[in-house]
Amino acid sequence: MASPRPFDEGRMTSDIQIARQARKKPILEVAEGLGLSGEDILPYGHDKAKISHAAVTRVGQQPSGHLILVTAISPTPAGEGKTTTTVGLGDALNRIGKRATICIREASLGPNFGMKGGAAGGGRAQIVPMEEMNLHFTGDFHAITSAHNLLAAMIDNHIYWGNQLGIDTRRISWRRVMDMNDRALRDMVVGLGGSTNGFPRQTGFDITVASEVMAILCLSRDLGDLQDRLGRIVIGYDMERRPVTAADLQADGAMTVLLKDALQPNLVQTLENNPALVHGGPFANIAHGCNSVIATRTALAMSDYVVTEAGFGADLGAEKFLDIKCRLAGLTPSAVVLVATIRALKMNGGVAKADLAQEDAASVRRGCANLGRHIENLRAFGLPVVVALNHFDADQESELSEVSRFCAMQGVKMIVARHWAEGGAGATDLAREVVNLVERGETGFQTLYGDEIPLWDKIETICRRIYRASGVEPAPGVQAQLEAWERAGHGHMPVCIAKTQYSFSTDPARLGAPEDHVVPVREVRLNAGAGFVVAICGDIMTMPGLPRTPAAENIGLDGKGQVEGLF
Amino acid sequence: MASPRPFDEGRMTSDIQIARQARKKPILEVAEGLGLSGEDILPYGHDKAKISHAAVTRVGQQPSGHLILVTAISPTPAGEGKTTTTVGLGDALNRIGKRATICIREASLGPNFGMKGGAAGGGRAQIVPMEEMNLHFTGDFHAITSAHNLLAAMIDNHIYWGNQLGIDTRRISWRRVMDMNDRALRDMVVGLGGSTNGFPRQTGFDITVASEVMAILCLSRDLGDLQDRLGRIVIGYDMERRPVTAADLQADGAMTVLLKDALQPNLVQTLENNPALVHGGPFANIAHGCNSVIATRTALAMSDYVVTEAGFGADLGAEKFLDIKCRLAGLTPSAVVLVATIRALKMNGGVAKADLAQEDAASVRRGCANLGRHIENLRAFGLPVVVALNHFDADQESELSEVSRFCAMQGVKMIVARHWAEGGAGATDLAREVVNLVERGETGFQTLYGDEIPLWDKIETICRRIYRASGVEPAPGVQAQLEAWERAGHGHMPVCIAKTQYSFSTDPARLGAPEDHVVPVREVRLNAGAGFVVAICGDIMTMPGLPRTPAAENIGLDGKGQVEGLF
């Protein structure tokens, strides 16, 4: 998401105007820069393409490049510019002579019709074509919707035709999905209207990015792995409380067929014509919030450097990137860029939203407690860290000095990054420091916990070591459920914690570096296909609603056939 | 759909095998054959493309070529090979030196997971790439699903935020759609779970091809027309029984944005590398069942001949093509090809399904009554007709002679067409006769009824003159509803009759040429955006279910990554 620029209104050029002025290369030329031929890609129009399964297989998935993670401190509601920094750093690495590829997530369609949204990066650090990426793009999310809902239809159809598997219609956890903000679909009774329509039961829809199929697509190494994972999806339980899987319903093959094109990574470009793979987009709360493993591995095989990001702040996004994605995909990151803004530091230092524009070095200093804790956490994974201060015009010298001084005390460099205003040229200092960290080779990446410890201990480890909770409280039945899954052979899985992104605690109002907080684990869910256990620690919305005045009301085509109101 | 070939099992090559052996030209070469450049098309992979809005506008939509409709006698459940004949005739016209383009509908995704289906044509008369066309293709149907469901979400959202328009939640006719066979979604109560999820109300899902958005996309001339039509959609009524439209909800602009790519016609090719535009696919019962106007007009501007088809038998498909599509789009067809098979003639002559393989010239003769009535009907539109006897290996000389003799008596040529086995070479006789009819120029196309007569009279005209009903019986309220729509300014619209395709009557068991039957009009619906009134005359299913053993259970990828079980 683009950084918020409240002082932006009077500027000559908005993100979308910059994006439209981009001199895009034909996508084939971008592909050729990666060593790919016209045969290796499947064009979608002239400015986007998929890299074919054959090419993905041929270039090999032996990661040879260096993987750089861009993450952030605890954010303001508008985000701190992780994507912008990811793009700017990628462009800057190319400027200083490294072959760098960017890997980010795809955007969800539905939310664009609620709040004005969209964009992939911002200012002069963007990925294009912006409009297509915020609409149907190459159809991946539609394919995920279809595959998810085919399984749902096969469940009700199985029950309709006699329920040979003995599925307990009260214990079906597989809902349906739609890439739309539609609160009316959260909770419903289907199968009404008489016996020809099946057995009535209560269920609902989630938004597509919340689908386990999305998480599976993003963690699969190839089509075979994809089908195996789809087959392992647990859709619910039978009358003897045994799990029923997608493979039991023989849905895994057809779901794989629906997803075979979607599994191919999408190639687009930055404003500076550098390659970007934009592929997959799982939720960052109930899922791991990273782009696809297949895109990351393919990019690593074709580049010196791959710059990628993870959702939310580092407590959630980086932890999941490292403990879920890197663990399951066998990836070893080389360095972490921790994005901070003066705004977010002030907010974490206790400044009210209305006062963020005022110079306030003391609050920035207080807010650095948040930054410091994220630095400590990332070091616990054995990774070198650099702080990227994403520069805004309103930033004051006194404020920047506070951050710089704090970082120096932590033994970490802080680099002011001006990619939003200047493109890659504004982030070459950052790029040089990243190369520096990587070439010094002081990385000793390790996950936070081993596969072998009990699931509950994994939850406790994250809560205590990353969130610094003084306690972790399971709701009744949670621990028994985890033990049951361990007995069923799922104990080796990592855990994915769903909680607020605004605080280390589960209370979004406790900013800074809160201590003495207790994490309540309300519910646990098994994503046997994706390969992780979800621990729900807070109110998690899996189907958003539209606001009173949806952005959709102002979206349309202008006289030239260009989209208005989407950005 | 492919012709059924019950004796096909032992053959060396199935449809899908033939399709995979096709030597496809790069889609750019196919486009160049139509006078289009690389800039004019948006490739989707290497074997499909969209023709850009700019190119559609530039080549102009002045129909200069001749439009040939392929329709059929009252069919068997497996269909009589309209698509196969359309493809074969297109290839044959190219073989005899005419620049011919084929225009057919896109396939719906959902039903493929129910019954083994798919295919676009069959044998050596096919359009490729078959697999993509039966899966996501270029994403048009997904875009329609999104646009349809955005409007639905905006309706419930409007009510949630105070219902300023005063929508009567009991009288919302706009449902949601999904491209899936999912009977559990036919009838449901949404908005459960408390006040944050909205107001509970009863509604349901239809399959995407039944969406009015599909019909609108297929009848729109350009983006402006598309948006105007979307805005006119009536989603239901307010508490004063006044219609509420998509424009009232300000949804038309965003829906147009979602559909802007989908409105561009899709270009693919036949096995013989001739161009085919495959675009749009409305239901043939509650909608008009034809490919898009924009594809037909664009093809006519680039070709000498355009061969297209309409759904179901000529009583439904041809009537709607002529009275709805041609009327609303200002198209003048030049000739009609009426497809018959010995199987269908026998069935219409009273032979049971199990006995269709036995030689039975007498039954064929009796079945010709059905053929004769369709010929008469088509002539009533002022169009020259040729009968294409779609040849099967099991056809006997005695049976073919009966048809030939019957046609001669009607003053119509019957041509045995062998395109299934021989490709375009098997249909050159048919192509020559089509050219003959066109060049003789004895066409005086007229619609069956004028715009100005009352809606009920339009229904009666079709029922009496085409179906040969002795009476038409409106359910209570139907005529008052039609009169209300006339007062509201919708009286000029054509009507679209939804009834069984298997009989001229509304009883699917009354084959041949039934007389003395009464058509009950159970319900009427206003499609103000598409621009027609629907009269429901029978049981119409708008959300299919899956069978006991869905095809999905056997669909998967083989060792080479090719799709199995879909065809």
pLDDT tens, position by position, A390-419? 999 999 999 999 999 999 999 999 999 999
DSSP-assigned letter for residue A464:
I
DSSP structure string for B8-29: -TT-S--HHHHHHH--PPPHHH
Q: Is the CB of residue B247 less than 8 Å away from at least one CB of chain A? A: no
Name chain B contacts of A196, Cβ cutoff 8 Å: 183, 545
Name chain B contacts of A256, Cβ cutoff 8 Å: 556-557
Q: Is the CB of residue B189 less than 8 Å away from at least one CB of chain A? A: yes
Report d(CA A25, CA B304) in Å as an integer. Answer: 37
Helix, strand, coil share of chain A (percent; to 5): 40, 20, 40
Report d(CA B27, CA B152) in Å as an integer. Answer: 37
Largest CA distance in chain A: 72
Q: What is the pLDDT at residue B13?
A: 62
Report d(CA A195, CA A160) in Å as an integer. Answer: 9
HEC letters along A502-563: CCCCCCCCCCCCCCCCEEEECEEEEECCCCEEEEECCCCCCCCCCCCCCHHHHCEECCCCCE
Which amino acid is located at A172 in the chain? I
Predicted ipTM beyond 0.85: yes
Q: Distance of alpha carbon A73 from its chain centroid, rounded?
A: 15
Q: What is the pLDDT at residue B434?
A: 98
Q: Are residues B269 and B414 in the same domain?
A: yes
Q: Are residues A273 and A209 in the same domain?
A: no
Name chain B contacts of A551, Cβ cutoff 8 Å: 254
Closest residue to A161, CB basis, from B44, B204, B548? B548
**B190 backbone φψ class: left, alpha, beta (φ>0; ψ -120 to 50):** beta
Domain count, chain A: 3
Q: How far is B271 from chain A (nearest CA, A)?
A: 21
Closest residue to B183, CB basis, from A186, A198, A554? A198
Q: Please indicate whether, in this complex, the C-beta atoms of B550 and A188 are within 8 angstroms of each other.
A: no
Give the dihedral sign, CA B102/B103/B109/B111: negative
Q: Please indicate whether, in this complex, the C-beta atoms of B552 and A250 are within 8 angstroms of each other.
A: yes
Q: Please indicate whether, in this complex, the C-beta atoms of A555 and B254 are within 8 angstroms of each other.
A: yes
Q: Does the residue B20 lie in any domain?
A: yes
- In the numeric block, which tokens belong to residue A6? 């409240």
Q: Please indicate whether, in this complex, the C-beta atoms of B192 and A190 are within 8 angstroms of each other.
A: no
Angle of the B252-259 helix axis to the B223-232 helix axis, nearest 10:
140
Q: For A255, name the nearest residue in chain B, comparing CA atoms only.
A: B556
Q: Active-site residues of B: which are they? A: 82, 84, 105, 116, 284, 312, 392, 420
pLDDT 10s digits, B256-302: 999 999 999 999 999 999 999 999 999 999 999 999 999 999 999 99
Q: Which residues, numbered 434 to 473 in chain A, qualify as contacts with chain B under a Cβ-Cβ cut-off of 8 Å?
A: none
Determine which of B245, B546, B548, B567 to mutate to test the interface with A (most A C-beta atoms within 10 Å). B546
DSSP structure string for A356-380: TTS--HHHHHHHHHHHHHHHHHHHH
Residue B121: partners with Cβ closer than 8 Å, 6 or more residues away: B2, B83, B84, B86, B87, B88, B127, B270
Q: For A246, name the nearest residue in chain B, comparing CA atoms only.
A: B553
Q: Residue B81, annotated ligand binder?
A: yes
Q: Are residues A57 and A71 in the same domain?
A: yes
Report d(CA A238, CA A260) in Å as an integer. Answer: 30
Q: For A252, name the nearest residue in chain B, comparing CA atoms only.
A: B556
Comparing CA positions, the residue from B26, B2, B31, B27 lying closest to residue B14 is B2
Name chain B contacts of A545, Cβ cutoff 8 Å: 157, 160, 196
Which of A259, A284, A302 is the last residue in one of the domains?
Answer: A259
Q: What is the pLDDT at residue A566?
A: 84
Q: How far is B414 from chain A (nearest CA, A)?
A: 43
CATH code, domain carrying B466: 3.10.410.10
Q: Which residues, numbered 505 to 564 in chain B, qualify as contacts with chain A under a Cβ-Cβ cut-off of 8 Å?
A: 545-546, 548, 550-557, 561, 563-564
Q: Are residues A294 and A411 in the same domain?
A: yes
Q: For A148, name the nearest residue in chain B, comparing CA atoms only.
A: B180
Residues facing A389 on adjacent strands: A340, A416
Q: Please indicate whether, in this complex, the C-beta atoms of A257 and B546 are within 8 angstroms of each other.
A: no
Q: Does the residue B565 lie in any domain?
A: no
Q: Is the CB of residue B408 less than 8 Å away from at least one CB of chain A? A: no
Burial class (CB in 10 A: 0-12, 13-18, 19+), A173: middle
Per DSSP, the three-state class of B51 is: strand
Q: Which residue bears the tokens 């990925």?
A: A127
Task: Give whole-number Cα distances, A467 to A496, B29, B92, B233, in Å.
Answer: 13, 59, 72, 52
Q: What is the pLDDT at residue B107?
A: 92
Q: Does the residue A563 lie in any domain?
A: no
Name chain B contacts of A245, Cβ cutoff 8 Å: none
Q: Does the residue B418 lie in any domain?
A: yes
Q: Please indicate whether, in this complex, the C-beta atoms of B136 and A157 are within 8 angstroms of each other.
A: no
Report d(CA B428, CA B445) in Å as an integer. Answer: 25
Q: Please indicate whether, in this complex, the C-beta atoms of B548 and A227 are within 8 angstroms of each other.
A: no
Q: Residue A506, annotated ligand binder?
A: no
Q: What is the pLDDT at residue B6?
A: 36
Determine which of A57, A135, A183, A548 to mutate to test the interface with B (most B C-beta atoms within 10 Å). A183
**pLDDT by 10s per residue, chain B, length 567:** 333 343 343 334 688 888 888 899 999 999 999 999 999 999 999 999 999 999 999 998 677 899 999 999 999 888 889 999 999 999 999 999 999 999 999 999 999 999 876 668 899 999 999 999 999 999 999 999 999 999 999 999 999 999 999 999 999 999 999 999 999 999 999 999 999 999 999 999 999 999 999 999 999 999 999 999 999 999 999 999 999 999 999 999 999 999 999 999 999 999 999 999 999 999 999 999 999 999 999 999 999 999 999 989 999 999 999 999 999 999 999 999 999 999 999 999 999 999 999 999 999 999 999 999 999 999 999 999 999 999 999 999 999 999 999 999 999 999 999 999 999 999 999 999 999 999 998 778 999 999 999 999 999 999 999 999 999 999 999 999 999 999 999 999 999 999 999 999 999 999 999 999 999 999 999 999 999 999 999 888 999 999 999 999 999 999 888 999 887
Q: Are residues B364 and B402 in the same domain?
A: yes
Task: Give whole-number Cα distances, B425 to A229, B92, B417, B419, in Å.
Answer: 48, 6, 9, 7
Name chain A contacts of B56, Cβ cutoff 8 Å: none
Structural domain range at position B382: 15-138+262-440
Q: Are residues B274 and B322 in the same domain?
A: yes
Q: Are residues A29 and A121 in the same domain?
A: yes
Closest residue to A183, CB basis, from B46, B198, B550? B198
Residue A405: partners with Cβ closer than 8 Å, 6 or more residues away: none
Q: For A552, name the nearest residue in chain B, comparing CA atoms only.
A: B254
CATH code, domain carrying B219: 3.30.1510.10
Report d(CA A178, CA A201) in Å as an integer. Answer: 19
- In the numeric block, which tokens belong to residue B460? 């009666």
Comparing CA positions, the residue from A501, A499, A509, A492 lying closest to residue A538 is A499
Q: What is the pLDDT at residue B559?
A: 85
Q: Does the residue A221 lie in any domain?
A: yes
Q: Does the residue B556 lie in any domain?
A: no
Closest residue to B180, CB basis, from A45, A153, A184? A153
Which of A230, A259, A288 is the last residue in one of the domains?
Answer: A259
Q: What is the pLDDT at residue A550?
A: 96
Q: Is the CB of residue B187 less than 8 Å away from at least one CB of chain A? A: yes
Name chain B contacts of A180, Cβ cutoff 8 Å: 146, 149-150, 153
Q: Active-site residues of A: which are they? A: 82, 84, 105, 116, 284, 312, 392, 420
Q: Is the CB of residue A372 less than 8 Å away from at least one CB of chain B? A: no
Q: Please indicate whether, in this complex, the C-beta atoms of A180 and B146 are within 8 angstroms of each other.
A: yes
Report d(CA A86, CA A103) in Å as an integer. Answer: 8
Name chain B contacts of A546, Cβ cutoff 8 Å: 153-154, 157
Comparing CA positions, the residue from A513, A50, A75 lying closest to residue A284 is A75
Q: Is the CB of residue A117 less than 8 Å away from at least one CB of chain B? A: no
Q: Are residues B362 and B475 in the same domain?
A: no
Omega of the bond leading into A129 within 30 degrees of 0 (cis): yes
Other CB atoms within 10 Å distance of the CB of residue A161? 15
Q: How far is B141 from chain A (nearest CA, A)?
A: 10
Q: Please indicate whether, in this complex, the C-beta atoms of A198 and B187 are within 8 angstroms of each other.
A: no
Query: Taking a C-beta distance cutoff of 8 angstroms, is the pair A67, A332 a contact?
Result: yes
Establish, for the pair of chains A and B, how many residue pairs have beta carbons separated by less than 8 Å: 231
CATH code, domain carrying B361: 3.40.50.300
pLDDT 10s digits, B4-20: 343 343 334 688 888 88
Pairing of strands B100-104, B385-390: unpaired
Q: Are residues A287 and A404 in the same domain?
A: yes
Q: Are residues A255 and A266 in the same domain?
A: no
Report d(CA A60, CA B442) in Å as an integer. Answer: 65
Which of B259, B279, B303 is the last residue in one of the domains?
Answer: B259
Q: Which residues, numbered 128 to 157 in chain A, qualify as contacts with chain B under a Cβ-Cβ cut-off of 8 Å?
A: 135-136, 139, 142-143, 145-146, 149-150, 152-154, 156-157
Closest residue to B557, CB basis, from A152, A223, A545? A223
Q: Distance of alpha carbon A10 from its chain centroid, rounded?
A: 32
DSSP structure string for B501-552: SS-SSS-TT--SS--S-EEEE-EEEEETTTTEEEEE-S---SS----SS-GG
Q: For A39, name the nearest residue in chain B, comparing CA atoms only.
A: B46
Pairing of strands A205-207, B333-340: unpaired
Q: How far is A136 from chain B (nearest CA, A)?
A: 7
Q: Please indicate whether, in this complex, the C-beta atoms of B196 and A187 are within 8 angstroms of each other.
A: no
Report d(CA B555, CA B540) in Å as an integer. Answer: 28
Report d(CA B314, CA B320) in Å as an integer. Answer: 9
Query: Taking a C-beta distance cutoff of 8 angstroms, is the pair A208, A148 a contact?
Result: yes
Q: Are residues A275 and A249 in the same domain?
A: no
Report d(CA B68, CA B334) in Å as an integer. Answer: 6
Q: Please indicate whether, in this complex, the C-beta atoms of B183 and A550 are within 8 angstroms of each other.
A: no
Q: Which residues of chain A have pLDDT under 50?
A: 1-12
Q: For A555, name the nearest residue in chain B, comparing CA atoms only.
A: B254
- In the numeric block, which tokens belong to residue A67? 């993987």
Q: Does the residue B2 lie in any domain?
A: no
Task: Give whole-number Cα distances, A410 to A77, A318, A346, A434, A445, in Å.
Answer: 27, 19, 19, 17, 19
Q: Does the residue B552 lie in any domain?
A: no
Report d(CA B346, CA B353) in Å as an integer. Answer: 9
- Extended strands (E) in B341-422: 385-390, 413-417
Q: Are residues B228 and B266 in the same domain?
A: no
Q: Which residues, numbered 417 to 436 in chain A, qualify as contacts with chain B under a Cβ-Cβ cut-off of 8 Å?
A: none
Query: Taking a C-beta distance cutoff of 8 angstroms, is the pair A220, A256 a contact?
Result: no
